[in-house]
Structure 1
Amino acid sequence: MPKAATAASQTLDVTSGLRSSDIEGYYQDLHRHPELSFQEHRTAGILAERLRGAGYAVTTGVGGTGVVGVLANGDGPVVWLRGDMDALPVTETTGLPYASTVDGVMHACGHDMHVTWLTFAAEALAAARETWSGTLVVIGQPAEEAGGGANAMVADGLQERFPRPDAVFGQHVAPGPVGFVSHTPGLIMSSADDVEIVVHGVGGHGSRPEATVDPVVTAAYIVTRLQTVVSREVSASDAVVLTTGQFNAGQRPNIIPAEARLGLNLRTQDMAVRERVLSAIRRIAEGECQAAGCPTPPEVTIGASFPATVNDAALDADITSVHRELFGKAGVVDFGPAMGSEDFSLLVPAGVPYDFWFVPSTSGATWQAAAGQELSEKITGVPGNHSPLFAPDLSALLPGVRTLVGAALHELGGTGRPRDR
C-alpha cells in the first residue's frame, strides 16, 4: 500500500467515530461568542479544557491567551498543529441562527472554524494513539488578526519551553467550493505591512484657509498619488496591493485641523519590491508635505508586519498526496499564491519545514449562483474573509478535521520521509 494511502486510510479510521452534530454544536457556540485579539479568554478556556480531557499536558497564558497542549506518545517525530482563535471588529449581517451575540464583533475570518478543526483533530488523534508514535503539540494562537500573536508566543518561550517540532502544520478557511483543499508549494501567502502617515499642518478657522496649512488636502493628495505606485513604479509581473484603509482628520466642519492620519496596508511577494514600495510611500508623503508648505515633515511609521508564508515544497508534496487520497485527485487544487497574509510562519523554529493550506467553505448553492465561469471570477462573487456576510458552510467542518489529522498521521504514523531529528 502506498505511504500516502496508509496515512489517508488511517485518517478515515481515526475520524470515523466523529459525529457531525457534535462538531457543529461546538463550532456554533464559538461563532456566537467571538473575542478580539488578546481577549480570547473564553475560547482559550474551552480549548484548554477539551485538550486536558483528551489527555494532553496543557499550558495556558502563553503569549497572553495562547494555549499549548502536549501529548507525548513514545519515540518518534514531533508535530505541531496550529489554529488561531481571534475574531474581528465586524458587525455580523449573515442572519444565521447562531450569529454573533457580541455587538460589533464577529468571526469574520473563520478562526472559530480553525479552533473547531484543531480541537476535534487533537481529540481524534489522542483517542487513536495506538496508531502512531511521537509527540503531538497543539497550539491555540491568539491575535493573528492584530499581527502580534505569534510573536507574543515566541517571546514567551514557545520554541524553548515545548518539544522542538520536526514539522508544523496549519490551515485556513477560505471562499471557494466546499469539498476541496487548496495546496500551493513554496510561496502561498504574501507579506503584509501596516503603514501610518501623520501629516502635520497648521490648524485654524474654516473661514480663513489662507492662515493655515490644510493637512486634509495634503493627505488627500498623498492618497491620490499613492495610486500611481503600483501602476507606474512596479513591474506588471510583480504582485503588489497598496490600500489606504484609514483617513482620520478633524472634529468639526468649520475647523481646519492641525494634523491628518492615514493608515495604509501593503501586500507584496518579493522583499526587493516591498522595499521599493515603502521607499515610494515615504518619498510621496514627504514630497506632498513639502509642496504644501507643512511646518514639519510627515511621520511615516511601519506598524504590524507579516512575513511571506513559504511552504516547504517536499513536505507540501507529501501532504498533498495524503489529501488527494482523502478527497480524490480532483479534490485538491492550487489557488496559487494569495495576497492575504499570516503570522503562522513566525511560530516555526528556524530550519523546521512547515506546510499551510486552504480549506474552501462556500456552499454548493452559493458557489453555483455566483457569476462567472473562472475560479477567480466566482470567488469575487461570494462572501469572503472579513466580510460581515462570511458564513462558512457547516459541511466544511469534518473535511477540515481530516486534513489536519491526515497531515499529522503522515508524520507520526511512520509514513513521512525521514528527516534529520
Structure 2
Amino acid sequence: MSITTKVQLTATTEVPESFIDEYVEVYKHLHAHPELSGQEFETASYIESHLTGLGIENFRCGVTGVVGILENGDGPILGFRADTDGLPIAEQTQLDYASIATGELPDGATVPVMHGCGHDTHITAALALAALLTERRDLWSGTLVLIFQPGEETAYGAKAMVDDGLWERAPKPEAVLAQHVLALERGKILIRGGHMASLADSWKVTVHGKQAHGSQPQESIDPIVAAAAMVLRLQTIVSRELAPSTPAVVTVGTFHAGLKENIIPESAEFTINVRTPDEATRDTVLAAIRRIIDAEAAASAMPAPTVSELNTFPRCYNDPQATLRVMDAFAADFGPDAVTEAPLGMGSEDAGWLSDAIGVPGVYWAFGAYEPELFADGTSPAGNHSPFFAPDAHTAVIGGTGSALSGVLAYLGRD
C-alpha cells in the first residue's frame, strides 16, 4: 500500500506532495524563460494554456495581460493579481534552470533577461491557487478574477489593462489582492495598513545650451555646467524642503553630455527617480524639481529644459479594514508570530491602479521563500533585483500558494 505525502498549505488545507512537485516544474519553466516588460508574449500564452487546461475561462487584456475568471456559485467577487515581467539582468545564480534568455530594450539594445524580482513565483502561486480552487470547490464560493499583469517593472501593465477595459470585461470585485516574494524566511508575512510602498516618478531632463569650441567658452552656453548645478541643487529638496520625519528619495541615475573633450556640447541629459510616501509629498517634491531646473536654466540664460516622464507608479495603499481581514486570516493559518507589520518601503508597485480605478479596497503583502538557516548568522540571501536572487523553488511554491490561498479565502472561504 502506498502512502501519499501531504503538504500543509494553510491551517485547514493540505495538498499532495505531487501537487507541489508539479508547480515546482512550472516555476522552473517560468524562471528559465523570462521576458521583458511589455514583451511577455510567450509567458501570456503559457498562462492561457494552463488556465484553459484547468477549464478556466480566460481572455487577453492589455496586449500581454491575461485574465482568468473562476466561478463557484453565489458569493463575493474578488480580484487577485500576479505580475509577469522579468528584468534586464544577467543571472548569476548557477541554478540548473537559470535563465539564458535575452530581450530587446526600447532603444534596440539586446540585453540578458532574468526573473530577478520573483514574478515567476507570483505566476506559479496564482496558477497553483487556480488549480487548487478548481479541485477543492468545497472550500469556497463566489468568483475569483485572476489578473496576470505584465509590465509591473515599468509601471505600464496595470494601467494598460484598465485602459483596455479590464473592469468592463471582467466582473467587478469588492477588493483586489496582490502579493510579492521577498528575501524572508518561509512562513513570514509582511503587511501593513495604509501606504504599503512608495509612489515613484521617473523623468528625463534635457538641458538646452549652445555649442562652441572649448577654446571659446564665451561663445557657448554650457549645458554641462548648468545640468551639474541642477543635479547638486536637487539634493537639497529632501534635506531642506521636507521635514526630517518625511521619507523621500531623489536620485539622479544617469548623466550624458558631449562627444569630445574640447567641444562644449549643445545639450546635456540626465534622468531622475523620485520616491515619496504619499500624494502630498509627491506634489511638493515634483514641484521643487521643476522650480530648480527652470531657475538654474534661467541663471545660465538658456531656455527651460525639456522634461519628459519615463514612468509613474501610483500609490500602493492597503485599505485598513480589508488589511485587518486578511491579517486575521494569515494569523489563523500561519500563527500570529508569522505576521509582521511592514515598514514603509521605498520600493514601488503599480497594483494600486487595479483597485483605485474602480474605487475598491486593495491589499498587498510580502511573503518569504527561504529556509531559516540562511538567516542564522545574521546574514540574508540576495534580495530582489540582484543577479543572485534565487528563492528555493519548493519553498517558494508552498509559501506563495499558501499565502495566496489564505488571503483569497478571507473573502471567498466557506465557514
TM-score of the superposed pair, with normalisation by structure 2? 0.90
Distance 1:25 1:232, change over 3 A: same
What is the rounded CA distance, in whole Å, between the counterparts of 1:170 and 1:198 in structure 2? 37
Distance 1:24 1:218, change over 3 A: same
Report deviation, 1:17: 5.4
**What's the counterpart of residue 31 of structure 2?**
31
Distance 1:209 1:92, change over 3 A: farther
Instruction: State yes or no: 1:306 paired with 2:305.
Output: no
**What's the counterpart of residue 4 of structure 1?**
none
Find 2:339's aligned residue among 329, 332, 346: 332
After the TM superposition, which residues 220-299 of structure 1 pair with which residues of structure 2 at under 5 Å, given as runs?
220-294=228-302, 296-299=303-306
Unpaired runs of 5+ residues, structure 2, are 1-8, 103-111
Instruction: Count residues in correspondence.
Output: 396
What is the rounded CA distance, in whole Å, between the counterparts of 2:218 and 2:390 in structure 1? 52
**What's the counterpart of residue 110 of structure 1?**
118
Report deviation, 1:162: 0.8
Distance 1:214 1:368, change over 3 A: farther
Contact 2:186–2:399 (CA<8 Å) still a contact in 1?
no
Report deviation, 1:153: 0.5
Report deviation, 1:362: 4.4
What is the rounded CA distance, in whole Å, between the counterparts of 2:142 and 2:219 in structure 1? 72
Contact 2:11–2:334 (CA<8 Å) still a contact in 1?
no
Question: C-alpha offsets along residues 261-298 of structure 1, whole Å, 9 cap, x if unaligned?
Answer: 1111111112222111111111111122222232x111
- Secondary structure, in 3 states, of the residue corresponding to 1:81? strand
Report deviation, 1:169: 0.9
**What's the counterpart of residue 419 of structure 1?**
none
Report deviation, 1:149: 0.7
**What's the counterpart of residue 91 of structure 1?**
90
AA aligned to 1:124 is L
**What's the counterpart of residue 341 of structure 1?**
348
What is the rounded CA distance, in whole Å, between the counterparts of 2:260 and 2:97 in structure 1? 40
Question: C-alpha offsets along residues 230-283 of structure 1, whole Å, 9 cap, x if unaligned?
Answer: 111110111111111121222334433211111111111122221111111111
What is the rounded CA distance, in whole Å, between the counterparts of 1:366 and 1:253 in structure 2? 50
AA aligned to 1:404 is A
Contact 1:178–1:393 (CA<8 Å) still a contact in 2?
no
Report deviation, 1:161: 0.7
What is the rounded CA distance, in whole Å, between the counterparts of 1:95 and 1:250 in structure 2? 40
Distance 1:223 1:414, change over 3 A: same
AA aligned to 2:172 is R
Instruction: State yes or no: 1:153 paired with 2:151.
Output: no
Report deviation, 1:351: 3.0
Unpaired runs of 5+ residues, structure 1, are 1-6, 372-377, 416-421
Report deviation, 1:208: 3.4
**What's the counterpart of residue 143 of structure 1?**
151
Find runs of 4+ consecutive structure 1 residues off by over 6 angstroms: none
AA aligned to 2:28 is Q
Report deviation, 1:39: 0.5
Find 1:355's aligned residue among 357, 363, 370: 363
Instruction: State yes or no: 1:400 paired with 2:369.
Output: no
TM-score of the superposed pair, with normalisation by structure 1? 0.89
Identity among equivalent positions (%) equals 41
